[in-house]
Structure 1
């Protein structure tokens, strides 16, 4: 699920529209390395 969301974000699909702001924040945390 995380990988799929990351790919969508990379493609510019708009994760916020697909999963929601919570998911977007989760991906941001992964990228931040927190």
Structure 2
């Protein structure tokens, strides 16, 4: 069923997006520290 596939995709996004955002924020923070030290 298509609805089952959509539900699976939604669950993957619900778990993946917050982790991705946290990872991007960590990377941005590290880059900001490096840039501000120079």
Bigger RCO (CA 8 Å, 6+ sep) = 1
TM-score, normalised to structure 1's length? 0.39
Structure with greater helix share of residues? 2
TM-score, normalised to structure 2's length? 0.35
Q: Which protein shows a greater Rg? A: 2
